[in-house]
Amino acid sequence: MAAKSSRTAYAFCSDCVKQVTFIRHGEADHNVAVRETGSNDAYSDPRWEDAALTEDGLQQAMQLREDLLKTGTKFDLVLVSPLMRTLQTAITTFASDLDSEENLSALTTPDGEVQSLPFLAVELIREAFGEHCCDKRSPVSVVQGDFPEVDFSLVETDAGTWLLTLSNFRTECLPIL
């Protein structure tokens, strides 16, 4: 008698599969400071706290949008870190003109009308604040007016105080993975 396999066979269901796309933010002020000084000390400079995108960084986000449009890929949701540079990258890349054929939203109404992509700020997907000032985010109360498209309801504190420790990695990050 053959041994019974403990493996379970799963049928592939293309409608059940979600594609996850990770995108890094465009060039920000602190990146330029490091390049110009040749030193990582610029990351600790308070001038670069919650660094914004440079003009080149905004151009990179616009180019990413064009590249994604060429692929025909559509998205259901944008999860974004509450850091300024990531919010700018997400909005520049994914906010769409719904009257245009050129949008990245996979969401439609029952009538076939394209809906705006939802943007959801999530604290746990950002770089943890530690020794680098550029990784300390601005208070939500300061940035949410600049990004009305973004839902900040999952960001639990106004100030950016999230520190990555082994303990909160186990309790907060591992369950997401």
Tens digit of pLDDT for each residue in 121-130? 988 787 766 6
155 vs 101, residue with greater confidence: 155
Q: Are 93 and 61 contacting, i.e. CB atoms less than 8 angstroms apart?
A: yes
Percent of the chain topping pLDDT 70? 75
Q: Tell me the pTM.
A: 0.78
Contacts 24+ apart (CB under 8 A), 64-71: 64/23, 64/26, 64/89, 64/93, 65/92, 65/93, 65/94, 65/104, 68/93, 68/104, 69/102, 69/104
Residues comprising the chain, all counted:
177
7 vs 133, residue with greater confidence: 133
Tens digit of pLDDT for each residue in 21-74? 889 899 998 888 889 999 888 888 888 888 999 999 999 999 999 999 898 888
Q: Is the pLDDT reported for residue 5 higher than 60?
A: no
DSSP structure class, residue 10: -
Task: Based on the residue annotation, tell me whether 30 is a catalytic residue of this protein.
Answer: no
CA 165 to chain centre: 21
Mean pLDDT within 109-114: 76
**Stretch (H or E) spanning 71:** helix 55-71
Q: Mean pLDDT lowest for which of 69-78, 84-93, 143-152?
A: 69-78
Token look-up 């110009």 returns 36
pLDDT band at 100 (very low <50, low <70, confident <90, very high): low
Task: Based on the residue annotation, tell me whether 127 is a catalytic residue of this protein.
Answer: yes
Cα distances from 97 to residues 27, 49, 55, in angstroms, run 24, 31, 22
Please report the pLDDT score of residue 173 as a whole number: 56
pLDDT band at 87 (very low <50, low <70, confident <90, very high): very high
What single string gives the DSSP state of each residue in 11-62? ---GGG-----------BHHHHHHHHHTSGGGGG-GGGTTPPB-HHHHHHHH
Identify the active-site residue in 49, 127, 149, 172: 127
